[in-house]
Structure 1
Amino acid sequence: MSGGSAYAVRLGLQRGWTEFTQSLRAVQDQAGYLVLAALTVGYLWVNRADPVEGTSLLYPTVALPGILAGLVAYSAVFNTAFVLAMEREDGTLLRHRALPSGMRGYVTGQVALQSLNLVPTLLVVLVPSALLFDGAVPGSAGGWLTVGWVLALGLLATLPLGMVLGSVVPDAQKVGLWGLLPLVGVTAISGVFFPVQALWGWVQAVAQLFPVYWIGLGLRSAFLPDAAAAVELGGSWRTGTTVLVLTAWAVASLLAAPVVLRRMTRRQSGSQVAAARDTAGQWIR
């Protein structure tokens, strides 16, 4: 890496950290974390006594890993896409493009920011769950190590997808239609709200094409006892397949994201930014 690129990466990491600390101090973001914790933990609490068919486990223990997988996908894909689309419209991307290695620094900053944002998102769910539900979190160092590599691979597989989405949507208002609805659909069939085994065979096959299912499966292998693997598809945790699928998604999306970003920034101009601002202003009014 050249000196200019290394400097851009350092600036990107600094920008990501600065925006993350600002977010932690923002009242609206703090309220968002509290609402997330209340809704998620409340949902698990209401179903705390429900047994999961085919196991000796209760619903919160089995559901928590899938919910965490859904939060990873939402944060990495939707949040990243929305921020990128907004900063495309307000001229931030255009300004970065004019700087030496500016896009490298921008992408580094976004990766750092969205990765850091995931930490409090997961903590506000994990901490109360650990206190309220017996056996809800991994009880060994090996389990937490598995959580670490699954989250790392999951972010690599999904963060670039958010950048691609944010580059191709017409404007930030369309991120919900283009990204959120499909993401909710994929998450719904990936074992987050109910076991994927209860779905039709063709739906199970579709779910396994996307990284959300594999992130959830990897997290369940860390959170649940080995005996719980018997009710999974294939009757095992399929750790090797999880690594291969998430790695394949990571490689494909990491190769695609820079190409899409470069094409998007080449087409962008000052007049387009001004027009986007006018449109956004009319929408707000």
Structure 2
Amino acid sequence: MSTGTAATGGTAPARLPGVLRLGLSRGWLEIRAFAREWEGIVFTFALPSLILILFAVVFDGMFDTAMPAVDYYLPGLVAMGLMSVSFQNLGTEIAIERDHGGLRRLRGTPMPPGAYFAGKTVLVAFLALGQLVLMLGVGALFFDARLPSDPASWATVAWVFVLGTIACSLLGVATSSLARSAQAASAVVVVPFLVLQFVSGVFVPVTALPDWVLYVASLFPLLWMAQGMRAAFYPDVMAAFEPSGAWDLHMVALALGAWCVVGLVLTLLTFRWKTRKDG
């Protein structure tokens, strides 16, 4: 007696690749697409390093920071660079893909939704690691910047890097749904990101900011990412210049971990494959 497949004279359908394999393939496609746009590469990678170079040259010795300007600004600019390649990049790119119908077309293919997000994860991991290496390389090679000197400090860089990038990526995906069009994406994403840079201790010392500004900034990941990076890069005596007089790494971990959870919930609740005009 023949089996059902034999009876119909057909063959078993080919098994589709798993989500992980599809996600890795999608990630490689995302990286190649990103690499083809040289303007995006320059803007994404060059801006934080260019700011670091300018600050190291212009502000060195200008303020009583008890350390070279490159050492003072490097941790905050590293945090800013990580948020740029995660929050800003995903927030604008996904909004553009949605407005141009790319997400709708992808949703109509057999590709599992998880593979799309896995691909974005691969892209962000690639960009974030490249951004970190570039910033540290520019600081160390051209200005002899002070880098973390012990395993514990490098471990702090690692977990702040991971938690901060995940939190900002999820926030970027959720924020992309606020943009009504591709043209509006930049305003929706870039404007709040720019404001956060000035109120989160990246450009302006946290001790110079009013208490209410710090309170508002503490509701977002960038302030905690910058504080965690300062704890890894700065000498211990610099903790006295933090608002609480300490690095408070447990609070950094708690805040970034909470944003990972909040960002995931917001993404699940708000993410759309189609624009509002598509229904």
**TM tier, smaller:** 0.7 to 0.9
Letter of the 1:42 partner, please give it: L
1:71 aligned residue: 81
TM-superposed deviation, 1:152? 0.4
TM-superposed deviation, 1:98? 2.2
Q: 1:250 to 1:102 in 2, by over 3 A?
A: same
d(CA) in 2 for partners of 1:222, 1:88: 38
Q: 1:173 aligns with which of 159, 163, 183?
A: 183
Matched-pair contact (CA < 8 Å) for 1:81–1:162: yes
d(CA) in 2 for partners of 1:163, 1:52: 40
The answer to whether the aligner puts 1:15 opposite 2:16 as a matched pair is no
Using structure 1 for the length normalisation, give the TM-score: 0.84
2:139 aligned residue: 129
The unaligned stretches of length 5 or more in structure 2 are 1-14
1:59 aligned residue: 69
The answer to whether the aligner puts 1:37 opposite 2:28 as a matched pair is no
Give SS of 1:206's match. Answer: helix
TM-superposed deviation, 1:134? 3.8
Letter of the 2:99 partner, please give it: E
18-27 or 78-87, larger mean C-alpha shift: 18-27
Q: 2:228 aligns with which of 218, 226, 232?
A: 218
Letter of the 1:38 partner, please give it: L
Question: Which has more helix, going by share of residues?
Answer: 1
d(CA) in 1 for partners of 2:98, 2:78: 29
d(CA) in 1 for partners of 2:31, 2:207: 38
The answer to whether the aligner puts 1:105 opposite 2:115 as a matched pair is yes
Give SS of 1:234's match. Answer: coil
Query: Number of paired residues?
Result: 264
The answer to whether the aligner puts 1:205 opposite 2:244 as a matched pair is no
The unaligned stretches of length 5 or more in structure 1 are 274-285
Letter of the 1:44 partner, please give it: A
Matched-pair contact (CA < 8 Å) for 1:80–1:163: yes
Q: 1:83 to 1:258 in 2, by over 3 A?
A: same
Q: 1:36 to 1:237 in 2, by over 3 A?
A: closer
Q: 1:142 to 1:233 in 2, by over 3 A?
A: same
Structure of greater Rg: 2
RMSD: 2.4
Letter of the 1:83 partner, please give it: E
Q: Deviations over 1:64-116 (max 9, x none)?
A: 11111112222211110111011112222112222346321111111221221
Matched-pair contact (CA < 8 Å) for 1:78–1:175: no
2:199 aligned residue: 189
d(CA) in 1 for partners of 2:109, 2:38: 33
d(CA) in 2 for partners of 1:206, 1:8: 39
Q: Deviations over 1:43-77 (max 9, x none)?
A: 22222234544xx3222212111111112222211
Give SS of 1:235's match. Answer: coil
229-238 or 106-115, larger mean C-alpha shift: 106-115
Percent identity, please: 30
Q: 1:268 to 1:35 in 2, by over 3 A?
A: closer
The answer to whether the aligner puts 1:161 opposite 2:154 as a matched pair is no
2:156 aligned residue: 146
Matched-pair contact (CA < 8 Å) for 2:99–2:275: no
Q: Deviations over 1:229-276 (max 9, x none)?
A: 111110100010111111011111112202212xx23x559x849xxx
Q: 1:39 to 1:199 in 2, by over 3 A?
A: closer
